[in-house]
Amino acid sequence: MAKKAAKKTAKKSKRLNKAKAAEPTIYKGLAGVTVDTTSVSKVMPETNSLTYRGYAVQDLAANCRFEEVAYLMWHGELPTRSQLRKFEKDERSRRNISRSHVEVIRQYPKRAHPMDTLRTSVSYLGTTETAWGGESADNDLERAMNMLAKIPTMIATDYRFRKGMKRIAPRKDLTMSENFFHMCFGKVPPREVIRAFDISLILYAEHSFNASTFTARVITSSRSDIYSAVTGGIGSLKGPLHGGANEAVMYNLIDIKTPARAEKWLRDKQANKELVMGFGHRVYKQGDSRVPTMRAALEDLAAWKGDTKWLEISDILQDIMINEKGIHPNLDFPAGPAYYLMGFEIDMYTPIFVMSRITGWSAHILEQNASNSLIRPLSAYGGVKQRKVKSISKRK
Ligand code: COA
């Protein structure tokens, strides 16, 4: 009898083990999964470095303007002087948005978040241009250039209307960074401010298969158009776990108010098990390679403005997070206060990120199209067992 029972138990556990072995491994959040190759950028957490097309991002930030990096992203090489001239001439000639687009922006609810209005604006641009040409790489490159040139105009126009001001038309004699300040504020700030802004755009331009880039690649993989892919990318970037963190950082710094309040504020957050925005990264665990360059730009801005309060608060948070938790700041941590010192409204920080990331997204969209395979993972079903439908009169 005992022998029979033991046999039965062994059989049952064999059956359970077999079922367990058949269960797929779940890679929650796709963490640690390599889904494709890319030649756009390389993130190397082990050496805390990042390259765009083989160039270290710090090297690019020290020696290039944002337009050169945009060219690099799409063409794989840094431009010569004449290539840059042609590229910039093209970009500057496309900065205006249509009268109908200006009217669409005028209609946006004044309380709408600028990421929502920008997402709608890019989508609107798609309605006017998707029918134009086929889905060839050349046409997509032209559409990418259109977005690079027009997105700053969309953001600045929306900002001016929201504030009840008249829009300011783009100028062709200014760089992208200078022109953006001109369209927002009607003036171009000193060189150090433009330089810090340009550096932030270079650092934000690209970062391999992050959530928004992967979103854009997923959309592209169904052979959808570039505007749909970028619109999806904007939706993904908006989230506070991704690009939205640069806004969240500044709201937190303002909430803290003074260096004297910083430690208690952080201890309260920790006690409530809340995330501290601007810290942590899915890939970098020993520090974000872009932070020292952006931190140096923030220090320059703080000195120019004569306002070191945000730096002092940041340092207190950073020291505790690194020394006690081993969690390092990411790029959004210095970028948030940098944009604040430049005079931008907080809800414009993530749209500014889009101005830059449009270059990386488009490079990935072109790459996905050139070697496409529909992105369609599997899932393991975790719901109720299959059952029979009861007619409505028999359901309780
Ligand atoms: N504040 C407090 N704790 C944090 C943290 C943060 N910003 N980031 C990570 N942690 C903690 C997690 O809670 C986790 O703790 P646990 O092991 O006790 O549960 C641990 O550190 C490991 O985090 P991990 O799960 O490896 O992070 P992730 O890879 O899932 O998430 C982020 C990465 C970016 C989503 C996450 O760090 C985060 O939400 N940061 C704040 C938002 C932000 O700045 N986003 C911009 C990213 S560039």
Report pLDDT for 285: 87
How far, in Å, CA of 133 to CA of 373, rounded?
A: 23
Report pLDDT for 13: 66
Report pLDDT for 162: 97
Q: Domain map of the chain by residue range?
A: 41-370
Q: Whose CA is nearest to atom 39 of ligand 1?
A: 241
The reply to whether 332 belongs to the active site is yes
- For residue 113 and ligand 1, the question of a CB distance below 6 A is answered with no
CA of 278 from ligand 1 middle (Å) equals 9
CA of 241 from ligand 1 middle (Å) equals 9
Best mutation site among 275, 290, 322, 324 for ligand 1 pocket (most ligand atoms within 8 Å of CB): 275
Q: What is the pLDDT of residues 166-206, one digit of tens each?
A: 999 999 999 999 999 999 999 999 999 999 999 999 999 99
State which residues of the chain have pLDDT below 70.
1-6, 8-10, 12-21, 130-134
Q: What is the pLDDT of residues 198-240, one digit of tens each?
A: 999 999 999 999 999 999 999 999 999 999 999 999 999 999 9
What average pLDDT does the chain have? 94
The reply to whether 242 belongs to the active site is yes
pTM for the whole thing?
0.93
Report pLDDT for 19: 58
- For residue 275 and ligand 1, the question of a CB distance below 6 A is answered with yes
Report pLDDT for 130: 64
Q: Of 165, 99, 142, 100, whose CA–CA distance to 345 is shortest? A: 165
CA of 282 from ligand 1 middle (Å) equals 7
Write down how long the chain is. Answer: 396
Cα distance from N-terminal residue to C-terminal residue, the chain: 44
Report pLDDT for 22: 73
Best mutation site among 325, 327, 332, 353 for ligand 1 pocket (most ligand atoms within 8 Å of CB): 327
Bridge partner residues of 52 (DSSP): 41, 55
Write down the H helix ranges in the chain: 2-22, 57-63, 66-75, 81-93, 99-107, 114-129, 137-162, 176-185, 191-204, 211-221, 226-237, 245-256, 259-271, 291-305, 309-320, 332-342, 349-370
Report pLDDT for 136: 86
CATH topology of domain 41-370: Citrate Synthase; domain 1 (1.10.580)
